[in-house]
Amino acid sequence: MGKRVIIAGGGAAGLTAAVFAARQGAEVTVLEGMERPGKKLLLTGNGRCNLTNLDVALSGKYYGSGAAVARKLTEQFGASEVLSFFEELGLLTTEKNGYVYPYSLQSGAVLGALLSEIRRLRVKLKLGEKVESIQQEEERWKVKTASWCYTADALVLACGGKAVPSTGSDGSGYALARMLGHSVTVPRPALVPLECNGRMYERLSGVRCRAAVSLYRAISEKNKNEVQKEAVLLKKDIGELQWTKYGVSGIVIFQLSRFVSTASHPQQMYLEVDLLPDFEKAYLVAFLERRAALFSKERTVALLSGLLHEKLIPVLLKNAEIPEKLSCGEVDAVQIERLVVQAKKLRLSLAGTKSFDVCQVCAGGVDCREVSDKTLESKKWNNLFFAGELLDVDGPCGGYNLQWAWTSGYVAGMSAGKEKKEEKGTI
């Protein structure tokens, strides 16, 4: 009989760990708390499942205490290895701008390929079996659920984080890690919409536009007289911006959101939105001056008509203190300058982020300084491994987080499935 391995969690990382542990000859059991496996995987990429990214700088795109670990391990099992793995499982893929998807553009195809492989390898998949407690006795793990006590030589915790708890990622994995003495960085929503102060968002809800968005930390009252003289640029990105009744969303916002959620004082941050990122300020000033002359008899909304969504124009005019009832011919150079500033540097005051219910991943998790950067084995316990979002690793949109699921699942599964046991020191 081979080494017995239990995988706690039947998501992307857990199923991958199960495959590679079983390929080592281990007898593998997956314990999944939900009534079906891979529920969150089915939601990824709006149901299309962005498997990975062909970005040559893939390994440098991670955050958290495990950023260096992720960088090292994705160089070992990166995008090309993921593509080879799924090709072995009979899955065809397609690529657009470096983003890799199943050829069918259906996440169910990815889950189906994984489930077919674990069936082929005779992995036992136990559904509705949520792990409630774990303990080690005489170098064997006892894993208790509401209905049974399972035993194993090695245990992989791949229970997920707190993102979209309706899929099973309810944060219970953190409690299990703490039960074993592991430190957990407080989880925060990442890849999540942002809430803004003010009422203008209600009238803009549903508007989408391309924009360059910069995230700044403002000068607080406390540090006005200290070294910091100007607001600090924390992150900038460009892409589709979506206005909502509570603030802003869209991929460009998701890419900035983890820096808001992990900040000690997110209310001291603000966004600066460039609604016309393809044009320089000087060009726009001259352009609008020509439009003002051309449409001299028209109302001021004509200045930006055709350039921006019609719902955005009244907001910019109001911020620039230009009455809508004026004609374009009555607008002076100073007002045009102010209007361009609003279009290029629209400032949004932040109130915080939306909740775990709507975020795509979590920032935070099990401190990666307490796991091996080679095997993802605990430095506190022999034959305890971690994988996936439970660890303090997160990345941007674009397939990076699923790549981490595949990578960490591969490493943890391969390590857990091996017969040889190495001594681990405590930290």
pLDDT for position 57: 80
Coil, strand or helix at 293:
helix
CATH architecture assignment, domain 4-190+362-417:
3-Layer(bba) Sandwich (3.50)
Distance CA 241, CA 338 (A): 22
pLDDT for position 220: 64
Report yes or no: 19 and 86 within 8 Å, Cβ to Cβ: no
* Residue closest to 425 by CA, chosen among 370, 387, 376, 374: 370
Enumerate helices (H) and strands (E) in the chain, giving the number of each.
12, 19
In this predicted model, what pLDDT tens digit does every residue of 396-407 receive, in sequence order?
Answer: 999 999 999 999
Report yes or no: 385 and 134 within 8 Å, Cβ to Cβ: no
pLDDT for position 424: 47
What is the overall mean pLDDT for the chain?
Answer: 94
Distance CA 137, CA 314 (A): 68
pLDDT band at 209 (very low <50, low <70, confident <90, very high): very high
Report yes or no: 32 and 197 within 8 Å, Cβ to Cβ: no
pLDDT band at 36 (very low <50, low <70, confident <90, very high): very high
| Residue 217 β-bridge partners | 232, 269
In this predicted model, what pLDDT tens digit does every residue of 130-156 receive, in sequence order?
Answer: 999 999 999 999 999 999 999 999 999
SS3 content of the chain, % helix, strand, coil (to 5): 35, 25, 40
Percent of the chain with pLDDT over 70: 96
Q: State yes or no: pLDDT of 426 exceeds 60.
A: no
Q: How many CB atoms are located within 10 Å of the residue 226 CB?
A: 9
pLDDT for position 171: 96
Average pLDDT over residues 310-317: 97
Residues of the chain with CATH 3.50.50.60: 4-190+362-417
Which position has the token pair 């553009």?
Answer: 105
In this predicted model, what pLDDT tens digit does every residue of 327-382 receive, in sequence order?
Answer: 999 999 999 999 999 999 999 999 999 999 999 999 999 999 999 999 999 999 99
Coil, strand or helix at 377:
strand
Task: For 263-418, list the strands marked E by DSSP.
Answer: 269-274, 346-353, 361-366, 384-386
pLDDT for position 423: 44
Q: State yes or no: pLDDT of 114 exceeds 80.
A: yes
Average pLDDT over residues 92-115: 98
pLDDT band at 202 (very low <50, low <70, confident <90, very high): confident
Distance CA 117, CA 126 (A): 16
Whole-prediction pTM = 0.93
* Residue closest to 211 by CA, chosen among 350, 307, 337, 315: 307
pLDDT for position 230: 79
Query: How far, CA to CA in Å, does 280 sit from each of 277, 283, 286?
Result: 8, 5, 10
pLDDT for position 228: 52
What is the β-pairing status of strands 27-32 and 4-8? parallel
Which of 25-39, 102-116, 213-227, 270-284 is the least confident region? 213-227
Which residues are within 8 A (CB) of 425 and not within 5 positions of it... i.e. 6 or more apart?
A: 379
What is the β-pairing status of strands 149-152 and 384-386? unpaired
pLDDT for position 60: 80
In this predicted model, what pLDDT tens digit does every residue of 238-254 receive, in sequence order?
Answer: 999 999 999 999 999 99
pLDDT band at 425 (very low <50, low <70, confident <90, very high): very low
